[in-house]
Amino acid sequence: ARPRVGYFYAGRGENRILLERIRSFKVKDFHAPPIVIFESESVYEAIVRLFLEDVGTLYILDKDRLLAGVVSRKDLLRAALGNKDLTKIPVGVIMTRMPHIYTTTPEESVYDAAKKLIVHEVDSLPVVVPRSGWVGGWEVVGRFTKTTVTRAFLALAEEDED
């Protein structure tokens, strides 16, 4: 279904180069800063934060600042429809909780992370690194979204202009 017009030639060598090039893009080269909130904060706080930061997903931290969950615009919309006092409900109650969360790492390829977004039908992957020691878990160092992939797609097209 994909058009092959505009390809002048496509020997195996050129294909290999394109493939290597796309797969050389790493999460750490494109990801955005994470927008986080503690699980004890209210759903109302989470909604305000989402609007102020203009993001689609917030990452939720536990008291040790480790990844506890994820909350999306859709989760918040569902909660807002409930018509309860949103300042009284902790965001931890409505979030999707670890380990039911897909994540990525700084060293993963944009290609592999993008595949997770599509396969698991999620909008966002927290970029995590392990924290070892007394309290183990995942520290959140970035966010990887379809916006990230869109930026990578444009970068791929534009770096060839010079």
Nearest distance from residue 81's CB to its own copies, in Å? Answer: 6
43: Cβ contacts below 8 Å, ≥ 6 apart: 76, 79, 80, 86, 87, 89, 90, 91, 93, 94
Nearest distance from residue 80's CB to its own copies, in Å? Answer: 4
Nearest distance from residue 2's CB to its own copies, in Å? Answer: 6
Nearest distance from residue 94's CB to its own copies, in Å? Answer: 13
Burial of 134 (C-beta count, 10 Å sphere; 0-12/13-18/19+):
exposed
Nearer to its own copies, 52 or 99 (CB): 52
Interacting residue ranges for its own copies, rule: CB under 8 A: 1-10, 14-26, 29, 47, 50-51, 54, 56, 73-74, 76-78, 80-81, 83, 86, 110-111, 114-115, 117-118, 121, 123, 145-147, 149-157, 159-161
Nearer to its own copies, 134 or 161 (CB): 161
Contact yes or no for 140/128 (Cβ under 8 A): yes
Contact yes or no for 127/105 (Cβ under 8 A): yes
